[in-house]
Amino acid sequence: MNIVITGSIAYDYLMTFPGRFQEHILPEQIANLSVSFLVDTMVRERGGVATNIAYTLALLGERPRVMATVGQDFEDYRFWLEVQGVDTSAIKTIKDEFTASFFVSTERDTHQIAMFYTGAMAHAHTLSFKDLPPSISEVDLAVISPNDPGAMVQYAAECQALGIPYLYDPSQQIVRLSGEQLRAGINGARLLMVNAYEFGMIQEKTGLTQRDISRQVEILVITQGERGSEIHAGGQSISVPVVPPEHIVDPTGVGDAYRAGFIKGLALDAPLETAGRLGAVAAAYVLEQKGTQNHCFTREEFVARYRQHADDNGLLDAMLAA
């Protein structure tokens, strides 16, 4: 499947706070919030939504192409992605900028406070689906994930004009996109995929109900953390449970892995429930590791873990044969 993923590429600075945020935030003083948390640990990891999705897709046997902008500090990261099986030919280096950076603190109950430095990502609008070389111009699925807001609007319009089916994932940028921009992105999408809180934000900003959105997209996926995910398509709803992790280390990047697993299901032309379960298995692997690209599995291991929780009736044989 020819997949082009747009979105952020970043370095992740992951910090651990030993307490609970809620114990140090006064609700009655929220308008005057000024608080500092002393963290115990910090590591720098490769991250970014686009590359997180691409990494797991590569583990699953795809060779996704990432279209994004990065800074002068990216070359080691580029080499590493290529070794993993990710096509970086559509990634553009902005020489006078640094690669975007994500700073996140995770507390005892896995709640998080995060900030994102844009860096080279602010130049994402300089890339275009119209400029892709002939070798990758036939796109089976584009992914429009959190990125420079202007670029996200541009990419959605280009995909609609070029007839490219796309997965729309505004998630972290919902706060920066207007209701009109969100409605435009949703209206032309094949899939909308967000978590439950983000879906509520979309409804508030756009004025659209769940029924309205389900009528506009072929597939609506709402992830719900430990309660699994819901897939709405063709007037039906499918509930997909989580795959229990062996242990919980870090939730960062779990949603990106779910997206990769779901997309792999689409590439296999599998039923939507199977796609959701593939997403759930991929998410479990990430939850068991610190960082968003430190999980690893063979396709045989992945399929075996899938079959511990569901019967695929041989549908995943194609993945093992690839």
Q: Is residue 106 part of a domain?
A: no
CB 129 within 8 A of CB 159: yes
Q: Is residue 17 part of a domain?
A: no
CB 218 within 8 A of CB 192: no
DSSP states along 204-239: HHH---HHHHHHHSSEEEEE-GGG-EEEEETTEEEE
Q: Range of 151's domain?
A: 3-9+56-100+121-321
Q: Is residue 38 part of a domain?
A: no
DSSP states along 32-91: G-------SEEEEEEE-HHHHHHHHHHHTT---EEEEEE-TT-HHHHHHHHHHT-B-TTE
Residues recognised as catalytic: 256
Q: Is residue 29 part of a domain?
A: no
Q: Is residue 308 part of a domain?
A: yes
Q: pTM for this structure? A: 0.89
Tell me the CATH number at 262.
3.40.1190.20
pLDDT in tens, the chain (322 residues): 999 999 999 998 889 999 999 999 989 988 998 999 999 999 889 999 999 999 999 999 999 999 999 999 999 999 999 999 999 999 999 999 999 998 989 999 988 998 888 999 999 999 999 998 776 558 999 999 999 999 999 999 999 999 999 999 999 999 999 999 999 999 999 999 999 999 999 999 999 999 999 999 999 999 999 999 999 999 999 999 999 999 998 888 999 999 999 999 999 999 999 999 999 999 999 999 988 999 999 999 999 999 999 888 788 887 777 6
Can you count the helices (H) and strands (E) in the chain? Answer: 10, 13
Q: What's the total number of domains in the chain?
A: 1
CA 183 – CA 127 distance, rounded (Å) = 23
Q: Is residue 37 part of a domain?
A: no
- Counting every residue written for the chain, the total comes to 322
Q: 172-182 burial string, b = 16+ CB within 10 Å, else e?
A: bbbeebeeebb
Q: Is residue 305 part of a domain?
A: yes
